Amino acid sequence: QMQLTQSGGGTVEAGGSLPLSCASSSRTFDSYGMGWFRQRPGDEREFVASISRNGRQARYADSAQGRFTISRDNARNMVYLQMNNLQPNDTADYFCAASSYGYLELVGPYDYWGRGTRVTVSA
């Protein structure tokens, strides 16, 4: 079992930045691909970014490309999402997740999930 504890988030004006962090309880953290997803009220959870086990490869949703950066520190069992130039449609609950299948873009293969953190971007 793995617990993922999220921190960060909050409220920011359009154009601002926010960092998100996610701490894993697993001793085998580096055997999991990690992802960030978000969910707006009434919508399905959607992919934002993911990173490979060794942190050398990453994938981004089109909406995140060029604005968000995912990274990880395997020595500290941490994964991060730096969000820049935030816009009102980035407002959502953000979730980190771990997958034993790699750094996928689909919700289904992720085995463990954080509880989510709210990001609100005002116009």
pLDDT per position as a tens digit, 30-64: 999 999 999 999 999 999 999 999 999 999 999 99
- What does the chain look like in DSSP terms, one character per residue? ---EEEEE-EEEETT--EEEEEEE--TTGGGSEEEEEEE-TTS--EEEEEE-TTSS-EEE-TTTTTTEEEEEETTTTEEEEEE-S--GGG-EEEEEEEETT-S-S-STT--EE---EEEEEE-
pLDDT for residue 8: 96
pLDDT for residue 10: 97
Residue ranges of the chain with pLDDT lower than 70?
none
